[in-house]
A = this chain, B = another copy of it.
Amino acid sequence: MSIPASTRAERAFTRAEPDARRQSLIEACAQVLAHNGAAGTSVRAIALEAGVSPGLVGHYFAGIDALVAATYGQVEAQVSAALDSALAQAGTDPRARLDAYVTASFAPPIASGELLATWIAFWSLVRSRPDIARQHDEQYARFRARLEALLAACGVAPARLRHTAIAVTALVDGLWLELSLSPGAFSAAEACAIARAQLDALISTSRSAY
């Protein structure tokens, strides 16, 4: 009844470096999240996307939550790298650097409906899983700290640094979220213009507080 092994045309077994396999599972998870949404993201779908048997997911990750968390971590690293790249191309003028850092969030690969699915899936775990809440807090703190440095270089008063960074982070997050959720409401170019205008207003008033 069973098919003899000799008739197998496909190579179903390929061994990979553990790190590479982990990486491919993370990428498959991101793909499935982007295509099927959070509700349609299952171990089987991810394994299928990665071209791997379902059992292997459990071999590398404690559960699907851990895989989603790892995927979010990788997405965050990519976003961070994109911001770094924007910063590197911005030259030395403090204000230009700040603008580049902020507006990079509204261009690919950061502003993308596909990334949003990963973010939402991650957010849905924050409230119930303390470890994931900590991961989120760390990512948020990191983003804000870098923003504070850029703002300080633009002459924002130290006493206002914290609140200004929170404000800019909220603005960027809000614009990015809406841009990803419904691209028709306003354009990426508008988001950049809005953010720049807001930065103008914030920096001038904050500088006057010296």
Contacts and interface: CB of A to CB of B under 8 A. Distances in A.
Interface of A: 37-39, 113, 116-117, 120-121, 123-128, 133, 136-137, 140-141, 163, 166-167, 169-175, 177-178, 181-182, 184-186, 190, 193-194, 197-198, 200-202, 204-205
A207 to B, nearest CB: 11
A162 B77 CA distance: 34
Contacts of A116: 123, 127
3 shortest A-B CB distances, which residue pairs? A170-B174, A174-B174, A201-B201
Protomer copies: 2
Contact of A194 (B120, B167, B198): B167
A39 B175 CA distance: 26
Chain A contact residues: helix, strand, loop or mixed: helix
A136 B181 contact: yes
A2 to B, nearest CB: 38
Nearest to A33: B124
Contacts of A125: 37
Nearest to A209: B197
Nearest to A180: B127
A133 B167 contact: no
A167 B120 contact: no
Nearest to A202: B201
Contacts of A193: 163
